[in-house]
């Protein structure tokens, strides 16, 4: 999910507070409407044994 939200405020010095309030309002609206944002899951499953290693490279730090 990727989206952009743009808004204008009269006083740029208050941007952090307004940004926080907008994000909280958006979160509350999502909860109210039953919209869930899943966390990305990256999982690798290897079945049937180990993968063959063709080359081993040692890296010295």
Please report whether residue 6 resides in a domain. Answer: no
Please report whether residue 60 resides in a domain. Answer: no
Which of 15-19, 29-33, 43-47 shows the lowest per-residue confidence on average (mean pLDDT)?
43-47
- Note down the domain range covering 41: 13-45
Distance CA 36, CA 22 (A): 18
**pTM: predicted TM-score of the whole model, two decimal places:** 0.51
Please report whether residue 29 resides in a domain. Answer: yes
Residue 51: which pLDDT band, with cuts at 50, 70 and 90? low
Please report whether residue 57 resides in a domain. Answer: no
> Are the C-beta atoms of residues 37 and 30 closer than 8 Å to each other?
yes
For residue 9, the model assigns a pLDDT of 84
Please report whether residue 24 resides in a domain. Answer: yes
Count of structural domains within the chain: 1
Please report whether residue 38 resides in a domain. Answer: yes
For residue 32, the model assigns a pLDDT of 96
Mean pLDDT of 4-26: 86
Q: What b/e readout covers 11-24, taking b as 16+ CB neighbours within 10 angstroms?
A: eeeeeeeeeeeeee
Please report whether residue 36 resides in a domain. Answer: yes
């Amino acid at each position: 999910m990727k989206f952009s939200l743009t808004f204008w405020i009269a006083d740029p010095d208050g941007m952090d507070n307004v940004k926080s309030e907008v994000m909280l309002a958006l979160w509350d609206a999502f909860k109210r409407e039953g919209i869930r944002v899943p966390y990305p899951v990256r999982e690798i499953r290897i079945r049937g044994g180990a993968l063959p290693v063709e080359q081993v490279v040692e890296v010295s730090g």
